[in-house]
Amino acid sequence: MTGWLAGKRALIVGAGSGIGRATVDAFLAEGAQVAALDHDSDKCAALRQQLPDTPVIEGDATTRDANDEAVRVAVDVFGGLDTLVNCVGIFDFYRGVQDIPVERIDEAFDEMFRINVLSHIHSVKAAVPALMAEDGASIVLTESTSSFYPGRGGMLYVSSKFAVRGLLTALAHELAPRIRVNGVAPGGTLNTDLRGLDSLDLGTRRLDAAPNRARDLAARTPLGVALSGDDHAWSYVFLASQRSRGITGETIHPDGGFGLGATRPTSA
């Protein structure tokens, strides 16, 4: 490995699985000290078993208390904090405005934006004082291909990811020059347990449970690749490192070229 994050002290929110879990491993491999926050007790137990030197905080990232506690633990253990990553998210399985009963819209909206947007706001709010005290501090938020292109989620998911894109822009402007703020906008991802909204009876449904997912993901990208959390994690590494010290308010798109608007030609 390159040691790009040697000396960095990071808090990764939503670290228990998927992209967040892969980012924990990538940060550790690149020399960072990492603290992890996740709401799922089983995932936290697995992290503690697999990574005994990594502080693991169990708590709801949509709340002030959990984020404050995670930052406190990271600062106490590491002596400071200079990197925040948020990978928290939930999905709506392509439900459009015509698919959601009117009596469920308010509850579904609140659940989607609480998890996909408010969790990011609370994590940033909690971490900013510690980040401001360090040189070279950075924040990396998780957007989505849906932050830029409709059709990669339903009405609420796409709206929430556009909101994260706006949040990133506002934070990058506000927190400069002390803190850089950037985003990663993954395309479809293998081996993610991104689940659906409880408010739409989708809470037990997982995005990676679709049959032939790898084939379908590869077919819709010009590069013909089905990317995993491990692939996406290196975008977070780059944005957290000093190699990107001149970049803020920007987004990396590990999506196989989805934005080019064409899929691979099929063979005859």
12 contact partners, CB below 8 Å, separation of at least 6: 20, 23, 24, 27, 34, 35, 36, 37, 85, 87
SS3 225: coil
149 is catalytic: no
Q: Give buried/exposed letters for 75-110 (b at 16+ CB in 10 A, else e).
A: beebeebbbbbbbbbbbbbebeeeebeeeeeeebbe
Catalytic residue among 94, 149, 157, 236: 157
Asked if 193 and 228 touch (Cβ cutoff 8 Å), the reply is no
SS3 27: helix
Q: Which two tokens stand for residue 76?
A: 């106490």
Q: Is 3 left (phi over 0), alpha (psi -120 to 50) or beta?
A: left
Sign of CA dihedral 155, 161, 164, 168: negative
The catalytic residues are 157
